[in-house]
Structure 1
Amino acid sequence: MILVVGGAGYIGSHVVKELIRRGNEVVVLDNLTTGHKQAIDKEAIFIKGNLGNKQDVSLIFEKYPVKAVMHFAANSLVSESVVNPLKYYLNNVVATFTLLETMLEYGIKKFIFSSTAATYGIPEQIPITEMTPTKPINPYGQSKLMVEQIVKDCAIAYSLEYTILRYFNAAGADETGTIGENHNPETHLIPIVLQHLQGQRKRISIFGTDYSTYDGTCIRDYIHVTDLAKAHILALDAMLISKGNIHRTYNLGNGQGYSVRDIIRKCEEITGRKANIHYAERRTGDPAILIASSANIERELGWQPSYRLEDIIKTAWNWHKNHPHGYEKGSVRGSYTYES
């Protein structure tokens, strides 16, 4: 059995669906503060609780034969982390400490951690490899890097096996259209553009048009959420058959960058609708280009992204058309800005 912490969230729910599809038994732990119960596959066991509550975690390990833990539960808004860093260090670092401590007490030593490209900060090289220096520029990225270090120290001291996966821009939705991206507030570019094209937002803002890129706007690496999920499955399989020597960190991206203008144009093309664009000043801390190299996981685990940008946006549009208010009918959408 696999414990998926944060399995009601965007990425976690897609991983749960992939695990169930291939016959794994799954138990989900989520407090539903940002996740959605409707996103959890009906065949998974759901426990409402907190990873920072030792009793909640202990009860799961006592009741279910958990072989490995996948950890997706974290606060992840960069701007919020700047104004409320203690929230991020408490939930992302301290709560993960409790999870790891409890795992080790029950002899569970296989751990897959959902990390982020925010650990790199403003990179010194493009494409970004796992050897690129980690210099986070906000508490969110710093909190994730702190957990990475804790995990590595636990590997040395307690023989913990781990795989750390650093994501770039996750996007899209499951091809069934039953689960997708539903944040409140929403800060990701693709869903914000699609919500605007649905008439839920007055405009879409472009922050800066004078970057050193081919069209003056920021360039980012987008990866389909199902491709992310499949990377987790490969990491899990490698760990379950290992003999105690899995200590890996991988980037996950498409290896190709698209500008803000590219994304808006492709969304317009797929929806057949025209965007109302507002041009704004640059935002502090936005790098011009962020593109990943996923060569290591491709070479070692055979993972390759299978969804193109068009596929990513088509599946996202399918989700948004069929769920204009997300999982909750009448839910309120967030701000008009996005985070990269």
Structure 2
Amino acid sequence: MLDTPNAAAPFRLTSLAHGGGCGCKLAPSVLRELLAEQPPGSPFERLLVGTETGDDAAVWQLDDETCLIATTDFFMPMVDDPFEFGRIAATNAISDVYAMGGKPLLALAILGMPLGKLEPAMVREILKGGVSIATEAGIPVAGGHSIDAPEPIYGLAVIGTARPETIRKNSTAHAGDVLILTKGLGVGVYSAAFKKGVLADAAYAEMIGSMTTLNRIGAELGKDAAVHAVTDVTGFGILGHALEVARGSGLALTLEADALPLLGEAAALVQSGHVTGASHRNWASYGEAVRLPDGLPEWRRHLLTDPQTSGGLLVAVAPEAAERVLQQVQAAGYPRAAIIGRAAEGEPAVAVV
């Protein structure tokens, strides 16, 4: 017999989780505090990317021609459909490999389920959703690990490969670079509306479509010498991930508020009060390194701090190649991709204009 809250009402997978998607992530300031005393990876000569800059994945150079990319990502459900939850979590995890300029090779499942609260059929659907996206990416889910957990958790550990020259970090932007964002913002706003039961069917479909679109363009961008840095935009919001690029690269980034691409109903929903708790935590974590223009409406700020689950890529590209790269990204299946700002010499910070 399952321990469900109300047998007469439709069962909601999200009712078992206190948060969902990348909104579950620890705030940037908390994560920095936890990692503050971790030993650097510098003694390991072949570790090209470790924890120093908060990049999307670890990179280990196997030989002169091959790098190994390793990452893991998992979270609690932000939708009630178990198959879609599996698809979203898998897309989000695989994105880290693409963000480094690599191609995924294989994945292992990470599964935590509250025994006695979910039918086995629902858990199978979660796993099937993850496998469906892995298949779309051309990789197997070759194993994994499962535990009894108080809340449902699913994700993947993903291994990928790349040539050394195609690795793209979040810490290698150049002064003068143009910034491109490949997906629209507002997933957190949509999820807040969904939890309150007010997200329209069309908006729900738009949200699912965005979160289950693989960032495979990252593997192509890594081959382009004009693309200097890449990171994926997830739980820290566009401001938080831009700040990681600024700090890692030692540059001042400027974002144009009016240029940011948004999901279709994001502005209307956030003005109606649909904001996640992670949005507030994100804002409290940035400190003085983020500057907003005087008079910026509160709802606009919430879009800047909105946690993205399986969000787009933030790309720093040489200015003379920006339009070409933007057209390439849009043609590859990311119609909302847009130029959103620039990088310049200056104290590492992010300014919104």
Q: If the TM-score is normalised by the length of the shorter chain, which range does it land in?
A: under 0.3
Q: Which has the higher contact order (CA 8 A, sep 6+)?
A: 2
Q: TM-score, normalised by structure 1?
A: 0.24
Normalized per residue, the structure richer in strand is 2
Q: TM-score, normalised by structure 2?
A: 0.23
